[in-house]
Chain A
Amino acid sequence: MVQVFPYAVGDAMSQTPIYTEYHPRWYRRRTSTYWWLRRPSYLVFILRELSSLFVAWFVVFTLLQIHALKEGPDGYQRFLDWSKSPLVLIGNSIALFFVVFHAFTWFQLAPQAMVVRLRGKRVGAAWIAGANYAAWALASVLVAWIVLRE
């Protein structure tokens, strides 16, 4: 237990020293609700996390698409017309941006999360990232080919 003496400065004589009994009052700064606006990297992080909402939107969109396909050619045509409407187009454009953003940030972080060893030596981060991007390109081409071929 430390004996604490109030530090009395001339002009502060009138103020009562604000000590708690056994140790000085620590100052605890409460984290603001807008902590994520304080630094650009925090904002980028929150945007990356919010991309999850657009991933969920994609699932909804796909389920609607499956449902429309089941309804026959007319049902699917209605779906196509709906997806052509400006609101849906803009929404999907924004969603596409966020989903691509998710992909880029995911592949950027992947090398940090995985340690891959080839014949005892650690594979460099650039190789892991490169492999991911290559897989992405391959998957995209494959899906596009399957969907678009007649």
Chain B
Amino acid sequence: MAKKSMEPFLWTLFSAGGVLAALLIPIHLFLFGLALPLGWLPQPSYEHLFALLRHPVTQVYLFLLCTLALFHAAHRFRYTLYDGLQIKHLNEVINVLCYGGAIVGSVLTIYLLWQVP
């Protein structure tokens, strides 16, 4: 039996992250990146947003969204580096940087969410 490759697992993370990113990130970025700062929509109060953040469902939602999106981006960017810059021979370095970055980001996400009272 050939050595167990991690590729299928990483691809699954990429796919899941891609689906979540496609479904959810546009509205998030639209709301918090454009519409609310520019005042196009009525501002939700701080209390409301904070109450939302404290809710365990929101925390799970944000955790899944952020970590899977990070792994999606890491996987895709890793292959873009292979294809775009033709630096496949540096693939150990690229893997460490990409997935390492995703892991760091995920840990940061867990830490931040954990700290919410």
Contact = CB atoms under 8 A, between A and B. Distances in A.
- Check A-B contact in the complex, CB < 8 A: yes
Interface size of A as a range: 35 or more
Interface in B46-100: 46, 48-50, 52-53, 62, 65-66, 69-70, 72-77, 79-80, 83-86
18 contacts: A52-B73, A53-B73, A62-B28, A66-B53, A66-B62, A66-B116, A69-B116, A76-B49, A92-B33, A92-B34, A93-B33, A96-B29, A96-B33, A102-B22, A103-B21, A136-B26, A143-B27, A144-B31
A55 B44 contact: no
Given A50-B80, A66-B62, A66-B113, A140 B86 contact: no
B113 to A, nearest CB: 7
Q: Is the interface of B mostly helix, strand, loop or mixed?
A: helix
Interface in A79-112: 80, 83-84, 88-89, 92-93, 95-96, 99-100, 102-103, 106-107
A59 interface: yes
Interface residues of B, number: 56
A135 interface: yes
